Structure 1
Amino acid sequence: MKGLQNIYHHSYTFSFLLVFLVLILFHPALSIYVNTLSSSESLTISSNRTLVSHGGVFELGFFKPLGRSRWYLGIWYKKVSQKTYAWVANRDSPLSNSIGTLKISGNNLVLLGQSNNTVWSTNLTRENVRSPVIAELLPNGNFVMRYSSNKDSSGFLWQSFDFPTDTLLPDMKLGYDLKTGRNRILTSWRSSDDPSSGNTTYKIDTQRGLPEFILNQGRYEMQRSGPWNGMEFSGIPEVQGLNYMVYNYTENSEEISYTFHMTNQSIYSRLTVSDYTLNRLTWIPPSRAWSMFWTLPTDVCDPLYLCGSYSYCDLITSPNCNCIRGFVPKNPQQWDLRDGTQGCVRTTQMSCSGDGFLRLNNMNLPDTKTATVDRIIDVKKCEERCLSDCNCTSFAIADVRNGGLGCVFWTGELVEIRKFAVGGQDLYVRLNAADLDFSSDEKRHRTGKIIGWSIGVSVMLILSVLVLCFWKRRQKQAKAYVVGMKNFVEMEKV
């Protein structure tokens, strides 16, 4: 009997352990994931082993696009049912067959192919290894290499976040690291099933007067962000903070970069560049698919050079290209054919004395190639500073927060301007004094309003007088009628 009890006890214990093991292995909240690779370990295609970040959001391993015979080392979202890749190591050096090994060699990560030839490497300068080196997939999707004794991000020997492919993840920086000279850019896949570098890129351009992010198709500039105004990029009003997402732009002696942070970690969001477009995609559980939050280019006014110098694009007007007040079409015939690429010219040249400014609201600021900035000037002195330079054609506030600080100044022609229904910022365009007062359109508009108001008031007065006269006449008639009736009654009594 005691033996049966022992058997039952052991059987019960085994069953309990088995159930517990199944729960650990298959329940997402309880699963134990391996997220590190030591110098004595390796990942191979044949083993099908992967690294999974703490929390189980990201997974690193080998993959083969559908219908392709090439293999890649990459990172994808583990919890999203729709297979979504965030990073590819050897995008332009694929493995030609299913022979591939990822391992640590000295202080480098190396990807070996057939015959142990190096297909991809972190390519760090060799140095004396102070302590064991490990590779780790972090919860935010960053694949890093570090000394096992140092978990501080400043001590990373290498990180995938410094070498983005087509996707910007939360807390990942896009832009220049001025200390290393590295420009972190996004480059599209060649096609939906080919991770190799495509023709569309999104990167920061520091060769302008002010840094701006540019969406390029090859050498052709498709869309630009406009300069950062302290709250948003003037050319992308869609990029505004949400209750679950915070944007950040940094410009100092060490870096010029953009990043975003998720305050709600259960929501996934990514910025991805694909052929001809830049997309903000968001996945909110329990959704089974990514939602398109916004995309660029968005409309007919997004492409650059649609409207030429001193003109701006406005979606609500027809045609979309409009000359700034004080300017007329450079080529009226083409303008009449709704071709605004040649832009507009001044009706009266600037005099360099007595000029003033026309304020345009909700604008994407002009291209900053000819712009300069003074970040500490009092905004009240912006107009004075611009007027003191005969070549200054326009200015805008550099940082619009807290009443404004600093100014952006343009010299030369103003190009690539558009007007938004909401967003953008004020642009002050310099005009000759003769054109400031003119506003033939504005004058006609005001005159028309005055005339209309005067006519309306006059008509109302005339109608009021006529109604009053008619009313008095009716009153007299009614009074006469009453008197007549009284007299008639009196006569009948007699």
Structure 2
Amino acid sequence: MEVLMYLALFFLPIFILKASALKIITPGDSIRDGETLESDNGTFQLGFFSPGDSKNRYVGIWYRVSNTTVVWVANREGPVSDKNGVLSFDDNGILALFNATNGLLWSSNTRRSRTPREPVLKLFEWGNLVVKEMNDDNPLNYYWESFDYPCDNFLPGMKIGKNLVTGFEYYISSWKSSDDPSQGQYSLRIDTRGFPQVVVKKGSETVFRAGSWDGHYLSGRKPEDNPNPLYSYHFVMNQNEVYFRSEILSSSFISRYAMNPFGLMQRFIWHEGRREWQTFSTAQTDLCSTYGLCGSYESCRSDGFTPCSCLEGFVPKSSTSRGLNSTDDMSDTAGCVRRTALDCKDGSDGFLKHTRLELPDTSKAWANNTMNLEQCEEFCRKNCSCTAYANLNVKEKTGCLVWLDELIDITEFSEGRQDLYIRLAKSELDQIQRNRKSKGNQKAVTIAIPIIVPMGLMVTMGLLYKWKRNQGKNKEKMELTIFDFATIANATNNFSSVNKLGQGGFGSVYKGVLKEGREIAVKRLSKDSGQGLDEFKNEVTLIVKLQHRNLVKLFGCCIKGYERMLIYEYLPNKSLDNFIFDKERNKFLDWQRRFHIIDGIARGLLYLHHDSRLRIIHRDLKASNILLDNNMNPKISDFGLARMFGGDQTEDKTRRVVGTYGYMSPEYAFHGRFSMKSDVFSFGVLILEIITGKRNRGYSDLDNNLLQHAWRLWTEGRSLELIDKALVHTDGDAAAVGSNTCITTEIIRCINVALLCVQQRPEDRPNMSSVLLMLGGESTLLQPNQPGYFIEKDLPPLMAAADCRSQEQSICSNEFTITVLDAR
């Protein structure tokens, strides 16, 4: 026994040294599957992992607090097929990954011009894996670093850009999927043509432009998107290199900027109390985020009737106007031209100042740091190719940036941030000044009009003015088209029953066609509907400011006497419940389409809860309020019951409970408490309905509702029995669920997510950013607790049932829509 004790005491220091060696790797050391290298304070770890549902093994770096959040992968294109991979480190400071047969799968032996004397491998606290000399921490002397080869995460301290001498480029690239970290289609990089700018590309095609450096941040940033004060931003451009980098100013929180497999760029912040990532911001938030959506000399407004319109002094190239339905197919005729031709030779051209435009694409621009604005104008005036100019540094009001070609990719902001001067003929400038002066006079006259107009029109104008004042306090314009009653009556054939799409608790919906051929959906509120003036005002003011591909677009409204109508984009496939609850139509929804719909609804909710300027709680999310366009893209509709939260508000309470039983969370139905987690509950119900093709209420004789049924099957390990028979027996191009393991795994994951969303306690439910990560397989799935279902006999006594009737069948859910009125 004494001998064993002495041996233990002898070998103990060796084991301790071996364990501590995992903080730093020296030549001859290796990392095997199951072992990890850790940063000094344990923020990051390096080791082997399998992404999502894949069985392949990769070497990656992840956060210790969230070991499924992998921020860098070594062997993206060369996975290990089993757990016998070895990562070695040799005397030359080269990292190499070998499989079980000693085949080389990946190596760091690139861009190496020097050989280290005492190489070590170290993982730093900011996530950078570095080969360096033992006692040299100078970044300029590193032999190799993972930050030179980013993956899908743009961490503080990383840079994107290009070495102009060697041509080496640093850029972020997406994973192919949540199960495959190999390089996907999308990348975040710097376009070095003209004046460099940050862009997102799909292959070689630019799909989003974050903008060029303006001395403070990127010019594509909207005025309200102020940079996080916890970060500093740097842009370097010289003869040798150009790059953009951010640095974190506080070590008290963890943040990352990531690109998902679909090219969406989002910043996440780790919430230690909830042990989850929360979405801080999203780069591509609306229709105008799409690069080149509008043509040359057109500005894009996501809150306008149509997104694209000519700049002042310009007219369309084609007489055919373009609206929302044609933006997917940009023809060569798209865009605008000057109304009056320039006359560069006589020097009479001038420049019109714009204060609310994002700077155009700078790939054909030229910059000078030493010029002031006056010199910039003079340079531009003498150069006939110059179409516009601006200050290079918006903060210091210095430098010169000029455009030498047509202006493209311009977004109009609600507030000014950087001045842009666009070249026009002198006669055109004079006319614009006269028009602006005339409009100013018209505004003054408008104030007096309600005194002499009929009472109905005066009330209408006063109401619209009040909305505008309360919503923006005279700082924002509420761009909304006011349709006259005759126009809408003509468009709907005088509200013919043939045009009627359906009827709900708040009135009827009609299809209409305007004179110019645009199809619309008209929501005509019934005089005795539950939606009064407040709800009508609420829906208008909310939707006009909410712009997202997964939210229905509001074109305008119509008010005449007691008539109140909302004019929406027309979506030909009507509502989701038309498909999932119909035995014939549900066959058109294979699993790929259903998952696409689930994902789209989740993205719309994420925008409402986190990414829009307003924090919106929908309060009536259900299958009938999810509309489908031509491509079966889902759009959340009906914001009459929605509520807006401000500041740090996360919860509210009401005695007037409104919504739909079957989708309503227990804390709201019984106690009037609602929050973002109330919408999450409704979303969980929707997922289960989409998977099963069954309504929540009255599911079967055995179980009172779908949630109860799903929970029982989950606890018994029989969740696959929930799957809609239309999916199990799918024929044709889409494989049946039973014959596709990947689809089955994805459905089980969705059921798990749904049950997490419908848990009894709101604090146990995930937020929508976590939901999206889980749906994409990018986050660990927890085991859910029992759902918050309740039986019909427990419903509050005061209830008004919705009248869900249509000519063919209900296009709204036949759940009960209820309104509990306050006592007077």
Q: What TM-score range do you get, normalising by the shorter chain?
A: 0.7 to 0.9
The code of the aligned residue for 1:281 comes to: F
Q: Matched residues in 1 for 2:144 and 2:281: separation?
A: 32
Q: How big is the shift at 1:191?
A: 0.8
Alignment CA distance shift 1:257-1:377 (3 Å): same
Give CA-to-partner distance per residue, 1:344-363, whole Å, 9 cap, x none: 12110112222211111132
- Residue 15 of structure 1 is matched in structure 2 by none
Alignment of 1:453-464 (within 5 A): none
- Residue 88 of structure 1 is matched in structure 2 by 73
SS of match in other structure, 2:212 = coil
Alignment of 1:92-491 (within 5 A): 92-107=77-92, 108-124=94-110, 131-207=117-193, 209-237=194-222, 240-274=226-260, 275-335=262-322, 339=326, 341=330, 342-352=334-344, 353-402=347-396, 404-422=397-415, 424-439=417-432, 441-449=435-443
Q: Matched residues in 2 for 1:56 and 1:400: separation?
A: 41
Contact 1:358 1:428 in 2 (8 A): yes
Alignment CA distance shift 1:446-1:124 (3 Å): closer
Contact 2:45 2:64 in 1 (8 A): yes
Q: How big is the shift at 1:266?
A: 2.0
Alignment CA distance shift 1:93-1:423 (3 Å): farther
Q: How big is the shift at 1:32?
A: 6.9
Structure 1 or 2, whichever has the larger Rg, is: 1
The code of the aligned residue for 1:373 comes to: A
Alignment CA distance shift 1:345-1:66 (3 Å): closer
Alignment CA distance shift 1:196-1:154 (3 Å): same
Q: How big is the shift at 1:289?
A: 1.4
Q: Matched residues in 2 for 1:241 and 1:447: separation?
A: 39
Q: How big is the shift at 1:436?
A: 0.8
SS of match in other structure, 1:34 = helix
Give CA-to-partner distance per residue, 1:390-427, whole Å, 9 cap, x none: 2211111111123x111111122111111122465221
Q: Matched residues in 2 for 1:116 and 1:337: separation?
A: 57
Q: Matched residues in 2 for 1:418 and 1:127: separation?
A: 45
SS of match in other structure, 2:380 = helix
Q: How big is the shift at 1:331?
A: 1.7
Give CA-to-partner distance per residue, 1:257-309, whole Å, 9 cap, x none: 11111112121111111113111111142232111122232101111222111
Q: Matched residues in 2 for 1:86 and 1:363: separation?
A: 35
Q: Matched residues in 1 for 2:404 and 2:171: separation?
A: 29
Q: Considering Cα pairs closer than 8 Å and 6+ residues apart, tell me whether 1 or 2 has the greater RCO.
A: 1
Q: Matched residues in 1 for 2:142 and 2:349: separation?
A: 56
Alignment CA distance shift 1:448-1:91 (3 Å): same
Q: How big is the shift at 1:74?
A: 0.5
Q: Matched residues in 2 for 1:39 and 1:64: separation?
A: 27
Q: Matched residues in 2 for 1:337 and 1:282: separation?
A: 35
Contact 2:116 2:132 in 1 (8 A): no
Q: Structure 2 unaligned segments of length 5 or more: list them.
A: 1-15, 452-824
Count residues with an aligned counterpart.
424
Q: Matched residues in 1 for 2:244 and 2:114: separation?
A: 34
Q: Matched residues in 1 for 2:182 and 2:319: separation?
A: 46
Contact 1:87 1:167 in 2 (8 A): yes
Contact 1:33 1:52 in 2 (8 A): no
TM-score normalised by the chain length of structure 1: 0.80
Q: Matched residues in 2 for 1:311 and 1:127: separation?
A: 49
Q: How big is the shift at 1:229?
A: 0.6
Identity of aligned residues (%): 35
Give CA-to-partner distance per residue, 1:44-77, whole Å, 9 cap, x none: 11xx211110111000011122432211000000
Q: How big is the shift at 1:248?
A: 1.6
Alignment CA distance shift 1:447-1:62 (3 Å): same
Q: How big is the shift at 1:455?
A: 9.3
Alignment CA distance shift 1:96-1:276 (3 Å): same
SS of match in other structure, 2:440 = helix
Q: Matched residues in 2 for 1:127 and 1:217: separation?
A: 33
Alignment CA distance shift 1:373-1:287 (3 Å): same
Contact 1:266 1:284 in 2 (8 A): no
Q: Matched residues in 2 for 1:337 and 1:151: separation?
A: 55
Q: Matched residues in 2 for 1:368 and 1:243: separation?
A: 27
Most deviating of 343-352 and 88-97: 343-352
Alignment CA distance shift 1:354-1:450 (3 Å): farther
Q: Matched residues in 2 for 1:67 and 1:455: separation?
A: 66
Alignment CA distance shift 1:351-1:313 (3 Å): same
Q: Matched residues in 2 for 1:74 and 1:314: separation?
A: 42
Most deviating of 150-159 and 444-453: 444-453
Q: Structure 1 unaligned segments of length 5 or more: list them.
A: 1-24, 26-30, 458-494
Contact 1:235 1:424 in 2 (8 A): no
- Residue 34 of structure 1 is matched in structure 2 by 22
Q: How big is the shift at 1:92?
A: 0.6
Q: Which has the higher strand share?
A: 1
SS of match in other structure, 2:392 = strand
TM-score normalised by the chain length of structure 2: 0.49
Q: Matched residues in 1 for 2:175 and 2:253: separation?
A: 25
The code of the aligned residue for 1:313 comes to: C
Contact 2:308 2:323 in 1 (8 A): no
Contact 1:235 1:364 in 2 (8 A): yes
Q: How big is the shift at 1:116?
A: 1.1
The code of the aligned residue for 1:95 comes to: V
Most deviating of 60-69 and 153-162: 60-69
Q: Matched residues in 1 for 2:444 and 2:44: separation?
A: 66
Q: How big is the shift at 1:246?
A: 1.6
Q: Matched residues in 2 for 1:317 and 1:246: separation?
A: 34
Contact 1:185 1:201 in 2 (8 A): yes
